[in-house]
Structures are given as C-alpha cells and as structure tokens.
C-alpha cells in the first residue's frame, strides 16, 4: 500500500436495519508507517473506505500485528474479535471527506485524540453523513426505534434515560485526553480538540472541529471552527462566532494570552494578548474608534480591519457608547494552580 492518511479499527452499534449509528475507535492512527500499511493490505485487503472484517481476517490481522511488534493494537484486535458487537475497519488513503458513519467517526476521533487540530482534516458533509441518535444510558438508539425500546425497557422494569438527541455524542464517552478538567462533560462534543491543561467550567462549551491549545480557561462558548491559543481565557457567558450558523466564511480564532470578559462576544480573529471587556460584542462590521498612546481618538475603522492584530484592548466608552480600541500591553496570566 503506497499511501494511507489514517486507519482505525473499532466497535460500534447499528439500528435494526443494520445501519451504523456510531463507532468507537480505541487507537486511531494518522499516517501509519509502511509496515502497518502492508499488514492491512495483506490481512484485510483494505486500502480505502470501511469494511466489516471476518473472524478469519481479524485473526490474521492480530497475528501479523503481534509478529511485527504492534502488541497494543494486536491486543485490541483480539478483544474485538472476541466480542459479539459489530466491528469495522476504516481507512482513508488521503485526507478526503467522510462518506459513511464509520468514516465520520474516525475523523472526529482524530481531532479528540489530538492527532489533528481544527481545520486540519476534511469534514465536508459530515452533518449529512452522521445519524441523529438518542444518546442514552444504554448507548445510541435510532430515533425511530426509541419508543419501542422505551416500552420494552419499561415492561422489563427498567428505564432508558435519554441524555440528548444529537448527531454528535459527548467527547468523554469516546476519549478522555490527558490533563483536562471538564465540569459538565455533556458540553464538549466528540471532535473537539482540547489541549493539555485546559479547564472547561460548567457553562463552558467546545464544539466539534474547535478547541484549545492548552492551557486555557473556558467558561464561555467555543463554536465550531474556532481555535484558542495557549493561555487564553474565555470568560463566563462569552461567545465566539463559528461559521456554521451565520454563513460567514471568516475563520475565527483567538491568539495566545487573550481575554474575553464575561458575556463578551467575538466575531473576528484575534492576535496575541488581546482583551475584550465584559459585555462587549465585537463583530466584523463593528465601527471602532482608534485611540493613540495619549488615549485620544485618531480615527475610525471597521473591526474586520483589525483582524489578527495583537496587543489590542477593546472597550466601550461608558459616556458616549462608542467602541474604542487601544494598545494593550498587559498579557493575561492564567491561575497556575488551576491549570497544574
């Protein structure tokens, strides 16, 4: 096999029609080495797409992995082979868009395992690929089959508790990256990239294809497509625009050591060491009065013209109501004790 962008083998669940609902990959791989590529080609005949390997193929794969020093993966394959649950092997020859549920879940695993960063893998069309499921205490259930499953459980004296109805499950049901604190795990979706040392408080939220370099404090909302640089603090109730809802094409990012105050909002990319005061929402079209080093007005411009600039402080003049911007030389310092 000449090329392989990513590979994983995992276990998942299906609906009564045999359609995949979700897949758990214990060890997703990015750019596997040639030896492993050859093993997959010989034992599974897999070069691209997804397949459900037979017991014989799994046995051959396990043996080849063990013989070539891939003991951890060999043990995983042995566990999968012994299970009655459906097993799937998925491969991308190149970084292309997912076309099936197993492929979509591999892409999301790559992000949450910190193998790629947001915008680092092609997720085109993933909403249309993934199925909307009821995520329950007994796993994913097809929405159409939920009423019958609930009745069945009640008649057996049991209860199915539905946590949410969504296309994306919570991240920690699939992977818990090292060095994190997440107060409410339902608020971090699978496909989030959450860097070492990040704290996500109860009202913090990180969408798929978004995340933090780490360490970071997240008490507000990090929308899809947004990436926050190391040391930045997203204050309580703060909101960062993504590109899913408004149709915008500008990729919003937050540089290092920035601060979004409580209930602030951001609609442009920020450079490093920037601050937006509490309650102030900056969008691309916001008219900003520029202040010189004497804090005197020196002109006006739209906020989009400041996109990506560093050392800026955005505030609202409490007398005139004008949005002002001046150079901010003080960097945000996160509480080291909270992020140790």
- Positions annotated as catalytic residues are 219
165 vs 168: CA distance, rounded Å: 9
* Residue 239 annotated as binding site: yes
| Residue 37 is assigned to a ligand binding site | no
Own/partner contacts of 13-18, CB < 8 Å, gap of 24 or more, are 13/85, 13/86, 13/139, 13/140, 14/86, 15/131, 15/141, 15/142, 15/144, 15/145, 16/142, 16/145
Helices and strands (H and E) in the chain: how many: 6, 27
Phi, psi of 15 (to 5 degrees): -90, -175
CA 158 – CA 144 distance, rounded (Å): 20
Does the annotation list 285 as a binding residue?
A: yes
Does the annotation place 317 within a ligand binding site?
yes
To which residue do tokens 């960062």 refer?
240
| Residue 315 annotated as lining a ligand binding site | yes
Biggest alpha carbon–alpha carbon distance for the chain: 77
Q: Is 78 exposed, middle or buried (0-12, 13-18, 19+ CB in 10 A)?
A: middle
Q: Is 262 annotated as a binding residue?
A: yes
The response to whether 316 counts as a known ligand-binding position is yes
Q: In which residue are the tokens 């997912």 written? A: 98
**Residues forming the annotated binding site for succinyl-CoA?**
221, 236, 239, 262, 277-278, 285, 302, 315-318
**Residues forming the annotated binding site?**
203, 221, 236, 239, 262, 277-278, 285, 302, 315-318
């Amino acid at each position: 096999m000449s090329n392989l962008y990513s590979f994983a083998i995992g276990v998942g669940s299906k609906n009564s029609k045999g359609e995949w609902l979700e897949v758990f990959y214990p060890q997703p791989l990015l750019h596997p080495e040639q030896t492993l590529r050859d093993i997959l080609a010989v034992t599974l005949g897999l070069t691209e797409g997804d397949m459900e390997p037979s017991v014989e193929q799994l046995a051959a794969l396990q043996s080849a992995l063990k013989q070539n020093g891939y003991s951890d993966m060999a043990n995983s394959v042995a566990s999968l082979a012994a299970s009655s649950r459906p097993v799937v092997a998925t491969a991308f020859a190149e970084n292309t868009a997912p076309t099936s549920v197993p492929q979509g879940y591999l892409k999301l695993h790559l992000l949450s395992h910190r193998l790629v960063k947001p915008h680092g893998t092609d997720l085109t069309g993933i909403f249309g690929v993934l199925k909307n499921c009821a995520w329950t205490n007994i796993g994913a259930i097809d929405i159409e089959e939920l009423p019958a499953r609930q009745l069945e459980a009640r008649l057996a004296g049991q209860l199915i508790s539905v946590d949410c109805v969504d296309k994306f499950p919570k991240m920690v049901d699939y992977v818990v990256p090292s060095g994190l604190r997440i107060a409410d795990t339902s608020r971090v979706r699978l496909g989030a990239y959450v860097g070492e040392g990040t704290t996500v408080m109860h009202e913090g939220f990180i969408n798929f294809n978004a995340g933090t370099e780490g360490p970071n404090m997240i008490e507000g909302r990090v929308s899809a497509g947004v990436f926050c640089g190391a040391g930045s603090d997203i204050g309580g109730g703060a909101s960062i625009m993504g590109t899913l809802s408004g149709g915008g094409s500008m990729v919003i990012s937050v540089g290092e050591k920035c601060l979004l105050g409580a209930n602030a909002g951001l609609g442009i990319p920020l450079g490093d060491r920037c601050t937006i005061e509490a309650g102030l929402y900056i969008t691309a079209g916001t008219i900003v009065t520029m202040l010189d080093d004497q804090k005197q007005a020196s002109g006006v411009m739209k906020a989009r013209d400041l996109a990506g600039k560093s050392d800026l402080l955005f505030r609202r003049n409490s007398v005139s109501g004008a949005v002002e911007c001046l150079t901010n030389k003080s960097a945000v310092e996160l509480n080291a004790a909270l992020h140790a």
